[in-house]
Amino acid sequence: MSDRKVRVRFAPSPTGALHIGGVRTALYNYLFAKKNGGEILLRIEDTDSNRFVPGAEDYIIESFKWLGIKFDEGVGIGGPHAPYRQSERREIYKKYVQQLLDSGHAYYAFDTPEELEAMRAATPNFQYDARTRQQGKNSLTLSKEEVDQRIAAGEKYVVRIKVEPDENIEVDDLVRGKVVINSNILDDKVLYKAADELPTYHLANIVDDHLMEITHVIRGEEWLPSAPLHVLLYRYFGWADTMPQFAHLPLLLKPEGNGKLSKRDGDRLGFPVFPLRWVDPKTGDVSSGYREAGYLPEAIINFLALLGWNPGLDRDLFTMQEMIDLFSFEHVSKSGARFDYEKAKWYNHEYLINMQDEELTDQYYLPMLQQKGIACDRDKALKIVALVKSRINFPADLWEQSSFFFERPTSYDEKSLKKRWKPESPALLTELVEVLAPISNFDIEGTEKIVMDWIEAKGYNTGTVMNSFRITIVGAAKGPQMFDVTAILGKEETIARVKAALAVIK
C-alpha cells in the first residue's frame, strides 16, 4: 500500500459557492499530492438531487483556476476514471449496493419518514441500529416474499448498512493519531435511496475513492465522526488492504464569537468568504469574492495555507512551490483556526508591494486610469506607481494614493491643516512661489537644492515650509517625497496649486 502512487481528491458538492474553508482543504490536498509526486483529482459529489445548485460546478472550477490549483484529472478535465460527477455514476453504485446486500452487510428498509419520526419521538436518542432495527420495516424483519413484493410494487425503499454491534473500530488519522470508536454508537446509515436511484455520500464516497485509487483522504474535521463508518464500509467491501489513509483537518472558525466560519460572517463583518463573487441563482443574493475585492490569488493561497499549518520557520511568506516542498501533516494543527481578516489584508499588501512596478502598472494602474478617462503615458504611470505602491493593500488603493497627481485638491484635510498649517504658512508659500517660478529645469534634484538652499539661507523651518507646501499640492499631510511629486506635476501645475490653496485656506 505504501508503494502506491499518491492520489488524493477534492470532492465538493455543488450546493453553492465554494467556501474558503473548502479552498483550504483543496489546497492541503494539492500541497500533499505535489509534495509526494502524486496526483489530485476533482470529483463532484452531487448525490443530493435536492440541493443541487446550477452554476456551482463551474464556479468551483473557475475558482481553482484563478487560485492556481491545478487538478490532474476530474470534472472539466477528464481522466481514466471518468465520469467524475457522481450523478453520472448511478449504475456503478447500484452494483456495489447489491454486493453489500448479497453479502449481508446491508438491508432494505421501507420505513416512511413519518414512521422514523415516530420512532425518534418514542425513544430518546433513538438511532436506527442493531438494537432498534427489529422495530423497523426492513428486510431483516419482513419476509422475503413481502420484501420482493414491495420492491416489485415500486415502493421507495432505502438500503441501510448493517453495522455489527460491540466492535471497536480504529481510525488511523494522519493529524490526530489513532481514534477508537465503538460500533454501538454508529447507526445503520442510509447508503442508497431508491427514490432518486442515488447513493448517499458515504457509499458513493467509498466506492469512488476505491475505484479512483485514492491513497489519502484529506478532508474537514466534520467528517471525523463518520470515519469509522467508512472504515467499516471498506471492510465490508473487502477493500481493507487498500483503504486510504485519513487526515482530518481542523475547521476554520469565525473571526469572533463561537462557531465555524459561515457565509453570514462575511456579510456581517464586511469581508469575502468566497474566492469569487457569487450570485445565488434562486434568491439573487450577491456574495463578494476575494478576486473582485482585489486580492491576489498568491496572497490568498499563502494566507490560507498558514491557517492551520506551519512549516515551523520564522517567516510567513511562501511561494506555492516552497509550501509544496515544506508540507507535512506533522505540522498541521489539531485545533480550529480563527479566520483573521487583518492578516489576509497584510498578505495582500506584502504580495502587492513585492510585485514589479511594471506589472502593477500594466496590469492594474494603466487600465484603472483609462477607465477613469485619464490620459497618462506609461513612463509617468510607472513613476507614480513606484512612488505610492508601498502604501497600498489593494490595487484599487493605487488610485486613492495617487489621484492628486491628476486632480487638483478641491478641499484640504482638516487634521493636516490643524497640525501642519502655521500662521506664517501663507507668507512662506507666497515666497516659495517666487523661488520656484524662475526654475527652468523642474527635476527632482535641481528643485530640491534650490528650495532647500532658500530655506537654509532664510533660516526657515524646513518642516513648516514643506508640510504647508505638501498640503497645497496633495490636499493632506501624506504622500511621497515632495520633489518627487512636483517633478511629475511640473512647474505650472505646482505653482498653480499653491496659489489656489492660498486663495482658499484662511
Residue type, 174: L
Among 37, 80, 154, 177, binds RNA (CB under 7 A): 177
Among 4, 70, 146, 195, binds RNA (CB under 7 A): 195
Among 239, 346, 394, 412, binds RNA (CB under 7 A): 346
Among 36, 130, 210, 223, binds RNA (CB under 7 A): 223
- The rounded Cα 151 to chain-centroid distance in angstroms is 45
Q: How far is CA 402 from CA 251, 396, 478, 479, in A?
A: 40, 10, 11, 8
Among 179, 435, 500, 505, binds RNA (CB under 7 A): 179
Q: How far is CA 175 from CA 72, 309, 336, 416, 439, in A?
A: 25, 11, 13, 54, 69
Q: Quickly list DSSP for 141-153.
A: TS-HHHHHHHHHT
Contact 111, 135 (CB under 8 A): no
- Taking alpha carbons only, the member of 32, 73, 330 closest to residue 213 is 73
- Taking alpha carbons only, the member of 60, 3, 40, 54 closest to residue 276 is 60
Residues 288-317 that bind RNA (CB under 7 A): 306-310, 312, 314-316
Q: Of 38 and 255, which has the nearer Cβ to RNA?
A: 255
Cβ at position 250, least distance to RNA in Å: 6
- The rounded Cα 261 to chain-centroid distance in angstroms is 11
Among 142, 158, 163, 299, binds RNA (CB under 7 A): 158
Which conformational region is residue 476 in: left (phi greater than 0), alpha (psi within -120 to 50 degrees), or beta?
beta
Residues 57-116 that bind RNA (CB under 7 A): 111-113, 116
Among 390, 407, 449, 453, binds RNA (CB under 7 A): 390
Cβ at position 331, least distance to RNA in Å: 5
Cβ at position 277, least distance to RNA in Å: 22
Cβ at position 499, least distance to RNA in Å: 19
Q: Of 258 and 371, which has the nearer Cβ to RNA?
A: 258
Residues 22-51 that bind RNA (CB under 7 A): 45, 47-48, 50-51
- Taking alpha carbons only, the member of 415, 413, 453 closest to residue 432 is 453
Number of residues that bind RNA (CB under 7 A): 85
Query: Would residue 137 show up in a list of annotated catalytic residues for this protein?
Result: no
357 is a site residue for RNA (CB under 7 A): no
Q: Which stretch binds RNA (CB under 7 A): 10-18, 88-96, 277-285, 493-501?
A: 10-18
Cβ at position 56, least distance to RNA in Å: 11
Cis peptide before 83 (omega within 30 of 0): yes
Among 251, 428, 488, 495, binds RNA (CB under 7 A): 251
331 is a site residue for RNA (CB under 7 A): yes
Residue 198's DSSP bridge partners are 193
Q: Of 89 and 202, which has the nearer Cβ to RNA?
A: 202
Residue 180's DSSP bridge partners are 170
Residue 124 burial (C-beta neighbours within 10 Å; 0-12, 13-18, 19+):
exposed
**Cell numbers representing residue 77 in the block:** 478535465
CA distance linking residue 238 with residue 104, whole number of Å: 13
Q: How far is CA 23 from CA 28, 56, 273, in A?
A: 9, 14, 10
Among 372, 378, 458, 478, binds RNA (CB under 7 A): 478
480 is a site residue for RNA (CB under 7 A): yes
Q: Which stretch binds RNA (CB under 7 A): 2-10, 277-285, 432-440, 475-483?
A: 475-483
Q: Of 51 and 372, which has the nearer Cβ to RNA?
A: 51
Residues 410-429 that bind RNA (CB under 7 A): 416
Contact 227, 197 (CB under 8 A): no
12 is a site residue for RNA (CB under 7 A): yes
Q: Of 35 and 193, which has the nearer Cβ to RNA?
A: 193
Catalytic residue of the set 5, 263, 419, 422: 263
Residue positions annotated with a catalytic role = 263
